[in-house]
Amino acid sequence: MIVEIGAFALILSLILSVLQTGASALARIRRSPVLAAVGEGAAIGAFGVLAVSFAALVYAFVVSDFSVANVTANSHTAKPLLYRIGGAWGSHEGSMLMWCLALTGFGALLAGYGRGLTSALKAVAVATQGALGIAFLAYTVFASNPFWRLSQPPVEGRSLNPLLQDPALLLHPPFLYVGYVGLSVVFSLAVAALVEGRADAAWARWIRPWTLAAWAGLTVGITLGAYWAYYELGWGGWWFWDPVENASFMPWLIATALLHSAVVTERRGALPGWTIFLALGGYTFSMLGAFLVRSGVLTSVHAFAVDPTRGVLLLTILGVTSGLGFALFAWRAPAMARGGLFAPISRESALVLNNILLAAATATVLLGTLYPLIREAIAGEAISVGPPFFHLTFTPLMFLLLILLPAGPLLAWKRADAGAALQRLWVAALLAAAAGAATLALVQPLSLFGAAGMALGVWLIVGSLTEVAERIRLFKVPGAEVLRRLGGLPRGTWGMTLAHAGLGVFVFGAVVETTWKSETSEVLAQGQRLSVAGYVLVLEDVAPVLGPNYEAEQATIRAFAPDGSLVCVAQPERRLYSAGGQTTSEVAICPRGLSHLYAVLGERRAAADGSPIWLITGYWNPWALLIFLGPGLMALGGVVSLTDRRLRLAAGRRATPSPAAPAQPVSEPA
Amino acid sequence: MIVFWIAVGVMSAAVAGLILRRAARAAAGGGDADSTLPLYQRQLSEIEDLAERGLIAEDERRSAHAEAARRLLSAADAAGPAWTAAKTARPMIVALAVVAPVLALGLYLGIGSPGYRDQPYADRLDRWRAAPPTQLDAPQMAAVLRSVTSERPDDPEPYRFLAIAEMASGDPGAATRALREALRLAPDRADLWESLGEALMVTAEGEVTPQSAAAFQRALEKDPQAATARFHLARGRIEAGEVEAGLAEWRALLADLPAADPRRPVLQAAMADVANGPRQPSIAPETVGAPEIAAMVEGLAARLAAEPDDPEGWVRLVRSYAVLGDAARRDAALAQARARYADNPQILTQLAQAAAAEPM
């Protein structure tokens, strides 16, 4: 009965979302706190029953109930428990259910914890969040129901794409959806601001935690996806400018821009219209991502659902939702009060420049993603826009952004002295130039791009630390005072520094890996060797191994360093999943400090004398670890910032006036 | 069904209770003041806090303070009247909280599958195991045999049956895996090597590949008379162009087969095909289902009736009946075999073990 309980709970969640929207909207019109409370209760209830529904679907996957069509299509009894559970969101229907779960979850958080919001703003936001929920829940119930049953259940399931049976990919969708759907709250708050005609500093502060949470989730989700591509696809790469990757990258770029423009609105009350525009844009790009990935309009590993009706429905949801949002914007935004003024050289201007560059970068990614689709629709010929396009358009924009980045936090609000800010960065500039020059002089093969990247990485990391050093007046005041100031730095500052330095760490990894990686592919018999970047890989043996739901050939490869010492014994596999007939490659990675020695077992062939030989590929990926560590630091920065507000409130309450300063006004509790 | 209705009731009551409780609290709490002001007050105190810690300069503090203070004042001016809980129709709220679950139930009854039980795999497997084998189709039989193999991992026989069932369900890959397991346990059985060769052959769409040829060779090492292996190896030679050599091997095989062997006409037809033209002999892969498994066991019984001096055959027959759950025939075969080998304690032990095999 558990499956049917889940089916009922899903429908109850839809009805409660309708109640949430209706009651909250009516509450705003009649200025009734009681109706608002009904809307909030419905929002929390919608999440609660949808959690029951999701649990029921997981249960059906765990016990392999093949009377559920979705389980039959995406699971198999031989699949390990962990991936049976993951199968619950590995399918189209299940992932839309997870999307709805995140949507109602954020709605419940907004209803339950949005106490600082004004009643009217909150009521409109809860109503809007409910309407977003109705759209996706109705889609799930009527067009993509994960609880549809089969009257004749088959004996076995049809399994899940084995490429997706992977721990990183188990966690990738949940994080990504927290990010995608977290932006829905920002969208709802933007709609509320437009309805109320109020996008002031307080509003900007209210959207910050939601933006930060969504941004951090997206960062982790995208990084997990890149890491998965890196070690599962076995091509040695980690980012392919695949439309599916771009689909998650565009909301991230917009969320990044929004984080920065919201700071301007919060501190100076300026740019309210632009901040609202970005807030609407973030979730629009999230839905665009869902449409691109889920409609089957792209043909790639991710697009398992090839079903035009669903695509049309998703496109309709996207068009209606964001169309209404932007129409409201066009109507209401011109009437909004403009905030504080600022000079061309100021923190505000730096953040505006950041936004212009990020928006331009988003536009190039959007163009590169959609152009092939539009071209195919109009001219009927399929073209692909690959990395060269993005290297010519996206990379220069990012280089410019990153060069300007360290100066931003050093500029004062309103009117700044650019010369003074640059003067403070001389240490960073000197170190960056030294790093670039040393790279040019010492590293072979010579690469201008590589040297520029090294300089940029140092510039970003040292530049970010310079800002901290300035604020704690390092070397300018006695050590005890420096420590006191260090302890007093707000978490938001630490978060920003971590994120900016993390970007520098990522630049190191990305530039060094792409510039100096090397690759050797050879056909080897047992006992033969190949060498890559001075390392020697000896193919000792290839033996069959039997997994729980696959058969594999497992190679044993001894890897020796240039000095002849044994680095590791790598055991890459080539797996055949008989339930679906797919072959996958399990890469073996030997970490060498920050770098990776990466071995892939290719297909078996026959030598001239009939003895077996294998295609072995060895990659040397220098500093590859930093590619994933950098975004990890950035996400950590987001989480640290997220803890700031609350902690500063607590600190304000507990503040004990120091003898030197006048007594502090104790801040009001929220 | 009762569990379903309890769950529906509990969920509906919980949701209605949640909504009503929040509404009651809001009604009791009365109005709600504009919460923007505390936020601006907090912003002001934060500016002072940062200045106190020396993190912002005095002139920056002054201008930021002035701006935040202006915002506080304008927000205080702009604040509208507080919301009041005055006119709220209580019956309407209660109706909303009750109607929502009722609507959901109505919609569910319309588009859901009310009353459809869960069908966990383990339960279905138990049902199949309890049912007579002849009522199962091949995939169900394979599922049952898979669970038998996991319970008796050291017995090659369930693996052999599993391979037959997997072949019948159209999954030669799974059959191959099962046969490899069986051979790991009984590497000296020529019939298993022959089956493996056939499974590999079916995987390769009927072609005698090096892998299947190797399996047939192993079968011949164990039993030089293994007819199936000899047949397919010769067929492979014919397909590879060595028509005369292959035909010669077939003729030798035909001479070795007893006159009553049912495979003789198949072999003769194949020889005629080759002799009549360039067309290659087409050997359709045999499909074997549950009835075929029963038929195979019957074949074994018939052979033992004709040539009873085959202790291993008797052991296998007893075990087959035991595995198929046919207690009456198992006991009959066991009694016959015991009488025949009463003076051979080793075979008697094997027979006892075979008879104790769990039915699937």
Is A658 inside any structural domain?
A: no
A445 preceded by a cis bond (ω within 30 of 0): yes
pLDDT at A637 > cutoff 90? yes
> Which of B233-237, B275-279, B343-347 is the least confident region?
B275-279
**Contact (CB<8Å) A65/B50:** no
Q: How far is A511 from chain B (nearest CA, A)?
A: 35
* A107 within 8 A of A46, measured Cβ to Cβ: yes
Amino acid A90: pLDDT: 83
Asked, for residue A656, whether it belongs to a domain, the answer is no
Are B310 and B304 in contact by the 8 Å Cβ rule? The answer is yes
Question: Are A189 and A265 in the same domain?
Answer: yes
> Which band of pLDDT confidence, cut at 50, 70 and 90, is reported for residue A160?
low
Q: What is the pLDDT of residue B32?
A: 55
Residues A1 and A112 in one domain: yes
Residue to substitute from A11, A415, A481, interface B, most B β-carbons within 10 A: A11
Question: Residue B79 — very low, low, confident or very high, per pLDDT cuts 50/70/90?
Answer: low
Residue A405: CA atoms inside 13 Å, Cβ hemisphere, count? 30
Mean pLDDT score of chain A, rounded to an integer? Answer: 87
- A442 and A542 fall within a common domain: no
pLDDT value at residue B284: 41
Q: What are the pLDDT digits (tens) for A4-58?
A: 999 999 999 999 999 999 999 999 998 888 899 999 999 999 999 999 999 999 9
- Torsion on CA atoms A175, A176, A178, A180, rounded to nearest 10: 170
A116 with A171, same domain: the answer is no
Indicate whether A345 and A313 sit together in one domain: yes
Range name among A59-73, A260-274, A284-298, B19-33 with the lowest pLDDT average: B19-33
Q: Which residues contact A639 (CB under 8 A, 6 or more apart)?
A: A216, A495
> Using CA atoms, how far apart are residues A638 and A316, in angstroms rounded to an integer?
33
Residue B243 is predicted with a pLDDT of: 85
Of B67, B104, B124, the CB nearest to A15: B104
B-chain residues within 8 Å CB-CB of A14?
Answer: 104, 107
pLDDT at B310 over 90: no
Q: Which of residues 316-355 of B touch A (CB under 8 A)?
A: none
CA distances to A52, A663, B48, B80, B177 from A669, in Å: 35, 18, 17, 21, 68
List Cβ neighbours of B135 (8 Å cut-off, separation of 6 or more): none
- Looking at the structure, tell me whether residues A281 and A292 fall in a common domain: yes
Residue A467 belongs to some domain of the structure: yes
Query: Does the CB of B303 have a partner CB in chain A at under 8 Å?
Result: no
Most confident of A63-67, A348-352, B258-262: A63-67
Higher pLDDT, A302 or A285: A285
Q: Which of A282-296, A298-312, A500-514, A585-599 has the lowest mean pLDDT?
A: A298-312
Q: How many CB pairs under 8 A join A and B?
A: 241
Mean pLDDT throughout A116-135? Answer: 92
Which whole number is the average pLDDT over A189-204? 89
Residues A535 and A630 both lie in one domain: no
Q: What is the pLDDT of residue A107?
A: 96
Q: Which CA distances in Å does B187 have to A452, B105, B278?
A: 64, 61, 38
Lowest mean pLDDT among A196-205, B296-305, B310-319: B296-305
Write out residues 398-437 of A within 8 Å (CB-CB) of B. 412-414
DSSP state of A299: -
Least confident of A77-86, A181-190, A358-367, A657-666: A657-666
Best to test chain B binding among A2, A3, A4 (most B CBs inside 10 Å): A4
Between positions 103 and 162 of A, the ones with CB within 8 A of B are 115-120, 141-142, 145, 147, 149, 153-156
Percent of chain A surpassing pLDDT 90: 51
> Does the residue A376 lie in any domain?
yes
Residue A96 shares a structural domain with residue A195: no
End-to-end CA distance of chain B: 31
Give the torsion sign (CA, B250, B251, B256, B262).
Answer: positive
In this prediction, residue A628 carries a pLDDT of 94
Domain around A548: 518-621
Measure B232 CA to nearest chain A CA, in Å.
Answer: 22
A588 token code pair:
């073996």
CB-CB: which of A38, A119, A141 is closest to B23?
A38
Residue A592 has pLDDT above 60, yes or no: yes
Q: Is B38 on the interface with A (CB under 8 A)?
A: yes
Kindly state whether residue A655 falls inside one of the protein's structural domains. Answer: no
Comparison of pLDDT for A366 and A343, the residue scoring more: A366
Q: Read off the pLDDT of each residue in B128-139 and give the average, rounded to a whole number.
A: 86
A553: pLDDT strictly greater than 80: yes
Mean pLDDT value of segment A571-593: 84
- Look up residue A338 and give its two tokens: 């403009």
pLDDT at A365: 93
- Tell me the pairing of strands A551-560 and A573-577: antiparallel
Considering only A105-109, A514-518, B9-13, B306-310, which range has the smallest mean pLDDT?
B306-310
Overall average pLDDT of the A123-133 stretch: 96
Q: Which of A3, A33, A268 sits opposite B118 (nearest CB)?
A: A3
* Residue closest to B231 by CA, chosen among B270, B205, B276: B270
- Give Cβ neighbours of residue B289 (< 8 Å, ≥ 6 apart): B137, B138, B141, B165, B168
DSSP string, B25-51: HHHHH--B--SHHHHHHHHHHHHHHHH
Mutation target to probe the A interface, by most A beta carbons within 10 A, among B39, B59, B124 is B39
Mean pLDDT of A69-81: 88
In the chain, the amino acid numbered A370 is L
Classify residue A113 as exposed, middle or buried by CB count within 10 Å of its CB (0-12, 13-18, 19+). exposed
pLDDT at position B360 is 58
When pLDDT is averaged across residues A412-427 and rounded to a whole number, the result is 84
**Could you give the number of structural domains in chain A?**
4
Note whether A594 and A473 are same-domain residues.
Answer: no
Task: Say whether pLDDT at A76 is over 90.
Answer: no
On whether both A481 and A542 belong to a single domain, the answer is no
Q: What is the mean pLDDT of residues A243-272?
A: 90
- Looking at per-residue pLDDT, the higher value among B284 and A131 belongs to A131
Residue A458 lies in a domain: yes
Tell me the mean pLDDT in the region B162-176: 86
Average pLDDT score over residue span A641-654: 52
Q: What is the pLDDT of residue A303?
A: 44
With H, G, I as helix, E, B as strand and everything else as coil, classify residue B137.
Answer: coil
**What does the alpha-carbon distance between residue A189 and residue A129 come to, in Å, rounded to a whole number?**
9
Could you tell me the CA-to-CA distances from A145 to A126, A317, A603, B205, B292 in Å, in that order?
Answer: 25, 17, 40, 39, 41
Residue B286 forms contact with A (CB below 8 Å): no
Cα-Cα end-to-end distance for chain A: 45
pLDDT number for residue A119: 86
ipTM: 0.84
Same domain, A402 and A293: yes
In a domain, A660, yes or no: no
Least confident residue range of A151-155, A335-339, A605-609, A618-622:
A335-339
If asked whether residues A324 and A305 sit together in one domain, one would say: yes
Residue matched to tokens 């010769």: B234
H/E element holding B333? helix B327-340
Q: What would the mean pLDDT of B49-57 be, rounded to a whole number? A: 73
A665 lies in some domain: no
Sequence-distant (≥ 6) Cβ neighbours of residue A65 within 8 angstroms: A3, A59, A71, A153, B118, B119, B120, B121
